[in-house]
Chain A
Amino acid sequence: MDIVVLIKFVPDLVEDLEIDASTGLLDRSFLRLMPNELDEHALEQAVILKERHGGRVTVLALDTGDVDEALFTAVAKGADRVIKITGDGFDQGLGSRRIATILRRALSDVRFDLILTGTQAVDDLDGFVGAFLAADLGLPYVGYVTQVAAADGRVVVRKEYPGGLNAEIEVSGPAVLGIQAAERAPRYVVTSKVMEAMKSAKIEEFAVDEVSVENEFAISSMALPESGTHAEMIEGTVPQIAQRLAALLKERGILA
């Protein structure tokens, strides 16, 4: 079973985020990027399927700068082919639609039965790469997938709904799956194996020229949420506090 895994590099939220005064958008100059967590799950799921059914795993990522280590780590985990897609302006944070268009080009000569990617990324604002790519390629898309079982050319996925409910959905033909969680937590590969991969494996490069995308949703401004260092203390009698808290929770849409 040949699987393609798409990895998006997103801002590492361990750092503080700042707004660039001149653009009014996220200041990307000192941003550290890391692979989107759910894409790591997608890779893990792909390797699990490879271990179970054989085949090849191909990883694609846009070159947002400094992606090599993550790609070599993917090789150490079991990826057979890693492709870095290069082009102008990739470090500026592209929208999902644009990324999907770019990926489609890079996939033109890659054979696959399934494309796995994280169901969403932390910085997605204009849709999801997996869903767009599926639409572009004319393939079915199922997201929030937590299990993938393959038998006789058919794939049955487990889709996660709130409250612990799951649904089994059968998918035929090549498809794109948005992974919410792999069957197992993404494996840890020891550093020496990653070093080995750096010496023995090769990252393929695929250059992409100008890509035009119509109907992109564009962000006009960004802001940091107001932050306080101390909890807002709610005063009053116990019944009053209970009322206020209940109202607060409803306001926050927690109970949706």
Chain B
Amino acid sequence: MSLSTAVVLLGLVASVGLFGYRCWQRMQHLRLGRTAGPFGRWSKRIQGVLVFVGGQTRLLRVPGTGIAHLFIFWGFVLLLPTILQAIIEGLFPDFVLPFFAMFGPLLLVQDIVALAVTVAVLYGLYVRAAVRPERYKGSHQFEGNLVLCFIFTIMATLLCHTGIRQNLGEAHVAAAWQPVAAVVGLPLRGLSPETQEAVSEICWWVHLGVVLVFLTLLPLGKHFHVVTSIVNVLLRNLQPPGRLMPARRDEGAEGAERIEQFSWRQMLDWYSCSECGRCQDVCPAYNSGAPLSPKLLIMGLRAHLFERGQALRASPEDGRSASREATLNKRLVGDVLSEESVWACTTCNACDRECPLFVEHVQPIVDLRRGLLLQQRGDKTLATALESLRRYGNSLGKSDKQRAKWTTGLDFKIKDVRKQPVQTLWFVGDYASYSPALTQVAQATARVFQTAGLDFGLLFDAERNAGNDVRRVGEEGLFELLAQKNIAALQKCQFERIVTTDPHTYNTLKNEYVLTNGHEQPLSAKTPVLHYTELVDELTRDGRLKVLRKLDGAVTYHDPCYLGRYNGIYEAPRRVLRAVGCRVIEMPRNRDRALCCGAGGGRIWMDEGKVKERPAESRVREAAALGVGCMVVACPKDLSMYRDAVKTAGLEGRIVVRDLIELVDEATRANAGSDATAVAKTEAMASSLSAG
């Protein structure tokens, strides 16, 4: 065996060995985690890998770097044979990889791909150096730059080596098949063959060396995603995003107070995080100046998993036991993550939606919150809201007997579902029922339903908060209690379907409520659950609800998180708006990129804390910038938050915020002429619409 072969062999063994060891270490830590699965639905999963990994679909939502990464990813896949060739060549000097090193068209593709990768990498370096996007803040930028340099080096040495091979007439195929390499080799033609041979040799060694070093570095940081990403996407969560995992009481703790109380699947997520920061970019909390970054949360969890995993596995006789003790005593929330950051999340799901690797951020935050509440950590205003929810079934401290008081302002009676069967059970929700400012919305909804001749009714005093945000705040037991009470009330009634005013109610009734009489069955499997926008869309399309006067003008529509991003209802509200005569102008951040108003995840029950720009204000400014006079929403919390934001952002007079149902009511109610207030509103509406 020659010296060079020995060196290659040594390098290979060392590199693969170190790579393997480092992977093994991390797999050992995964074993600390709780169980996960079962997985199933494999064809859908494989399809996902093809689309999301192969197609890099989510990455392309940020076009520049998305395309660059597409090239780099496919570049590596297509250039893998060249790397293999290099390695095997090192061990068996005259070896030529059959087919892969000889097939002209393939080599042409590889040649062009190498150029594309080089350009992509240079673009990446340019972005990092000159553009410096906000989303990289907090990521390991040195590692990012280093790896880009590595890849550049690998490409450059490959092209150079191949170019010289062509110059020396030793290429495996005609130069025409490898034009880029030829161009690279061109300036070197002037050198003597011995020099070129030497340069080629150096290129080869550097090429191999960088590859082997890169391999050992892969498991250490964000580039571990190269190893785990396909598995991560394959095993992604196929449940509806609006369905959280229940608390695991049978395994002891209800939430995650220590890192090993997460599941191994969650831990795998953290290993797959590439620190791209797309989640951070769309996070309403982060962008308002709150101390939460979904990316930094995942990175923090990953780092702590490693240090704690190492500390747990170290034997006590090892030296450095003081630092081991210190690591083991670290509080997950307190020392590793700040409490403020865990509570800052609005559970809007923008992060989960944006992540190219399907890393879940909301579920771990809920798990952490479950642990915090168990330890009685959480702010006082939240405690007050939870006490009220537990005692009265609403967060506003009002009596359950007052829930249907808003109905007294109507000139017709609404059916009581507890006493008579109806076709559509209307689950109103806390805010629309109790908040004086929202009474008009509830009443407008009732009028629209009545005008359409819908057979509907209410649960009246038997309705309780559906529990969506209670669950997301981490009070799983209270969520279960509220759900139990609601389900018990529902089971005593006869109805064919449920309609909700609030998208939060919609989400949990549709995705999380389970009937347990005998066998478990989702509520929505037994009775369809609709949001009112879906119902109104249906009613306008089949003619049961007739538009009597068109509301001329331009509006913009804000997609509520729990209606749009979580449950995919984007078009129904827009159809309704067009049906009543409005022209819908989209905000730059629309549909699944809509910016959360900031009230979700129980935030509406917590102290605001320091903010540099409230998400709600950012959103109304975005709407006002379109020049429309009206922003339409379909969620009571959105309505409150945005109306407030219009005042605090100083936009009064420039834009109004209306609920979609108010517009529908004005367009469809029979006796608008006799009601002065309604006419005044319509006129104001028309003038505000026409301001757009």
Q: Which residues of A contact B (CB under 8 A)?
A: 12, 14-15, 32, 34, 185, 187-195
Contact = CB atoms under 8 A, between A and B. Distances in A.
A254 B407 CA distance: 38
A15 B376 contact: no
B477 A192 contact: yes
Given A190-B373, A191-B390, A185 B476 contact: no
A170 B12 CA distance: 78
Interface in B428-464: none
Nearest to B375: A190
Taking chain A's interface residues, is the majority helix, strand, or loop, or is none over half, making it mixed? Answer: loop
Given A14-B392, A14-B397, A188 B481 contact: no
Contact of B386 (A34, A188, A192): A188
Q: Which 3 A/B pairs are nearest by Cβ-Cβ distance?
A: A191-B477, A192-B477, A188-B383
Interface string B217-247: 0000000000000000000000000000001
A190 B392 contact: no
B383 A15 contact: no
Given A14-B399, A15-B399, A15-B401, A188 B477 contact: no
A14 B477 contact: no
A185 B384 CA distance: 10
Nearest to A187: B376
7 contacts: A32-B399, A185-B380, A188-B386, A190-B374, A190-B477, A190-B478, A195-B477
Given A15-B399, A34-B391, 14 more contacts: A14-B397, A14-B398, A185-B380, A188-B376, A188-B378, A188-B386, A190-B374, A191-B390, A191-B480, A192-B249, A192-B254, A192-B476, A193-B374, A194-B477
B475 interface: yes
Contacts of B475: 190-191
A189 B476 CA distance: 12
A98 to B, nearest CB: 27
A196 to B, nearest CB: 9
B481 A191 contact: yes
B197 interface: no
B387 interface: yes
Contacts of B397: 14
A192 B383 CA distance: 15
Interface string B450-492: 0000000000000000000000000111101100000000000
A191 B247 CA distance: 13
A193 B376 CA distance: 11
Given A34-B391, A195-B477, A189 B249 contact: no
B373 to A, nearest CB: 5
Contact of A188 (B249, B373, B401, B476): B373
Interface string B257-290: 0000000000000000000000000000000000
Contacts, number: 45
Nearest to B397: A14
Contacts of A32: 399
B392 A185 contact: no
Contact of B478 (A14, A34, A185, A191): A191
Contacts of B373: 188, 190
A106 B596 CA distance: 56
Interface string B158-176: 0000000000000000000
Interface-centre pick from A15, A185, A192, A195 (highest chain B CB count, 10 A): A192
Contacts of A191: 390, 475-478, 480-481
B430 to A, nearest CB: 15
Nearest to A77: B376
Contacts of A14: 392, 397-399
Contacts of B390: 191
B109 to A, nearest CB: 59
Contacts of B476: 190-192
B251 to A, nearest CB: 14
A185 B374 contact: no
A209 to B, nearest CB: 33
Nearest to B382: A188
Contacts of A187: 376, 383
A14 B249 CA distance: 34
A15 B383 CA distance: 21
Interface string B356-385: 000000000000000001101010101100
Interface in B323-376: 373-374, 376
Nearest to B391: A34
Nearest to B399: A14
A181 to B, nearest CB: 13
Interface in B293-343: none
A43 B391 CA distance: 18
B268 to A, nearest CB: 28
Contacts of A34: 391
B281 to A, nearest CB: 34
B383 A185 contact: yes
Contacts of B392: 14
B435 to A, nearest CB: 16
Contacts of B374: 190, 192-193
A69 B387 CA distance: 13
A191 B485 CA distance: 14
Interface in B28-54: none
A105 B477 CA distance: 37
A32 B254 CA distance: 32
Contacts of B391: 34
A12 B380 CA distance: 21
Contacts of A189: 376
A182 to B, nearest CB: 12
Contacts of A185: 380, 383
A12 B399 CA distance: 9
B254 A190 contact: yes
Contacts of B387: 188
A14 B382 CA distance: 19
A12 B402 CA distance: 14
A197 to B, nearest CB: 11
Contacts of B383: 185, 187-188
Contacts of B382: 188
Interface string B394-406: 0001110100000
B638 to A, nearest CB: 27
A131 B480 CA distance: 41
A191 B478 CA distance: 5
Contacts of B376: 187-189
A39 B530 CA distance: 44
Interface string B119-138: 00000000000000000000
A32 B401 CA distance: 11
Contacts of B249: 192
Nearest to B386: A188
Contacts of A195: 477
B85 to A, nearest CB: 60
A187 B375 CA distance: 10
A83 B374 CA distance: 25
A188 B375 CA distance: 10
A191 B482 CA distance: 11
A39 to B, nearest CB: 15
A10 to B, nearest CB: 14
Contacts of A192: 247, 249, 254, 374, 476-477
